[in-house]
Amino acid sequence: MTAAVSLRNVHKSYNKALVVDGLSLEIQAGEMFGLLGPNGAGKSTTIRMLTTLTKPSEGQIYVAGYDVARQRSQVKSRIGVVLQQISIDSDLTVWENMEYHGRLHHIPNPLRQKEIDQALEYVELSDRRNDPAKMLSGGMKRRLQIARALLHHPEILFLDEPTVGLDPQTRRRLWEIIRNLNKQGMTMLLTTHYMDEVEYLCDRIGIMDNGKLISLGTLEELRQKYGKAIVMKQARDAWDYKFFPTVEDANLFLGQQPDKTGMMVRPSNLEDIFVELTGRNLD
């Protein structure tokens, strides 16, 4: 079966600086894939290459079976993109933003109006269709971006930090929208700085650093590989921690320590693994 997204030994350089270094990766149809990395890891450049906004310096990228360098039009017609930056036109109404996007994708009337109505209803913006986009809250603007990205029924949806800066309730609502789309069979690639978002949404996780893919797998596979438990010890203003295969192993180690002051055992999580691999927090 052809992968929905395929990168083969992809490199990207800007002014002789290597930003993406030999990236090879496949995302299967219907998969919800999370791409993580600290700032400067190469995530945004990877997204730009996948969405035809920039060409790879070396290597091949296929999206929905099409070469992003040579078949850009075919790729664009099969993908939806929700960027971190708000990209709607604030001077247009909600409906006008959708109408403009529908015309760009050559969706004929009256089908276009039907699709706009359905997309706005899906993201719960039907009652705001005549409001200027600049009057929407941050969460509503994100939902409008998602509705716009869905209008032409893409096979693959790219979500670049879609919930950044939103309050917890709005983030959770967007999670449900994203998860329901994936349950309907849509392939998705998500980048985010929120570990709980990846743990909740993603089937598999790739971690990038310095332009390279340094780890890949499900959350359970990553915890199995690096350790399902950690022993934490407070060291002045920070915490030191050590991975163990199981909670039982961690408790055994703790029990052997002559001084247990400031020490504790807990299950490992994705953020622990991320910091272990990259040596720094996402921020």
Q: What's the pLDDT at 283?
A: 44
Q: What's the pLDDT at 282?
A: 47
Please tell me the pTM assigned to this model: 0.90
Query: CA 185, CA 195: separation in Å to the nearest integer?
Result: 23
Q: What's the pLDDT at 164?
A: 85
Give Cα 70 to chain centroid, integer Å: 25
Place of tokens 């320590």: 257
- Residue-wise pLDDT for 210-238, tens only, equals 999 999 999 999 999 999 999 999 877 77
The mean of the pLDDT values for the chain is: 93
Section 129-138 average pLDDT: 95
- Residue-wise pLDDT for 252-269, tens only, equals 999 999 988 889 999 999
List all residues 6 or more positions away from 99 whose beta carbon is below 8 Å from its beta carbon: 112, 116
Confidence of residue 86 (pLDDT cuts 50, 70, 90): confident
User: So where are the chain's domains?
Assistant: 30-52+73-218, 228-267
Query: CA 211, CA 12: separation in Å to the nearest integer?
Result: 9
Which fold, 30-52+73-218?
Rossmann fold (3.40.50)
Neighbours of 44 (CB within 10 A): 19
